[in-house]
Chains A and B, each alone.
Chain A
C-alpha cells in the first residue's frame, strides 16, 4: 500500500531476512440476527470472505462466542484506490441461557452467511411427588 515502505522492506531483505509488512485490520463485529423458537435459539451472522474451516463457535458458561479468521486477499501489483471494507477477523459474543443442548449445536455456512442453531435442553419432566399419609 505504501510504496516507500515496501521499497525499504525489499532492500532490507537482502541483508538479514526481514518480514514483509503485513496488512492488519481490526476485528469486526459481524451483523447478526438472533431469534428463538419453542425448541431452539438461532444466530445468523454475515461473515463474508471466510470459509467454514476458519470459523469457530464456542459455548461456555452461558456465553456463545463466534470468531472467524479472515485472510486478506492479496492484489500484487495493484494500488488500493478505494477501501470501504476491512478484511479483519470477525468476533462477537452472546449471552445464552444455560439450558441448551450443547452437543446438538449446528452451524451452516452459505454465501457468506453463518447460521447457528442452538437447541434448547429438554425440560425436566414434572414429577409427581407422592405424599404418603402419615
Chain B
C-alpha cells in the first residue's frame, strides 16, 4: 500500500505492480569488456501522467548522434556509447573517475506507447524523452444510460 502511494498510482490501475521486475529490467546492462560503468547507466528519472510518461537520462559527453532510442509496446531502450577521452602523448593522468564505453538500458513503461509520437530532446547532456500513451491503451469512459 505504501508503495502504491509513493508512486502515486491507485489500486484501480497499477502498472507498477510488478515493480521489482521492472527494476531488474532497468538494471539490465550490456557491458563491453572494458566498460567501467556501474550497472544501471544511464541514471533515469521517470515522470508519469495518465496519458504520457517522461523519461529523462543523464548522458554527459554523449553526442546526440551516438544515442539510439527505440520503443516497442511498453518498453523503452536507450543505447549508445561514450567515447574515451583522447590522451595525447606526454599527458599524465592524476585522476580518472569518468568512464567510457557502450551502454544499453531497457525500461518498462506503465503503458504501451504510441511509438510514432515519441519525442526526444537532448540538452547539456540530459536526454528527455516524452512518450504518449497508445490510444488503444487509454482507459475508456463508458457512458451509463438511465433506464
Contact = CB atoms under 8 A, between A and B. Distances in A.
Interface in B89-124: 90-98, 110, 124
Nearest to B64: A111
Interface residues of B, number: 38
Nearest to B96: A33
Interface string A12-44: 000000000000000000011111111000101
A50 to B, nearest CB: 6
B61 A113 contact: yes
B125 A80 contact: no
Contacts of B53: 81
A73 B47 CA distance: 11
A33 B93 contact: yes
B91 A112 contact: no
A75 interface: yes
Nearest to A54: B124
B44 A82 contact: yes
Interface residues of A, number: 32
A109 B124 CA distance: 8
Contact of B93 (A35, A50, A112): A35
Nearest to A86: B45
B7 interface: yes
A88 interface: no
9 contacts: A31-B98, A32-B97, A34-B94, A37-B91, A44-B85, A46-B125, A47-B60, A48-B59, A78-B47
Contact of B94 (A36, A51, A73): A36
A109 B93 CA distance: 20
Contacts of B87: 35
B75 to A, nearest CB: 15
B31 interface: no
A84 interface: yes
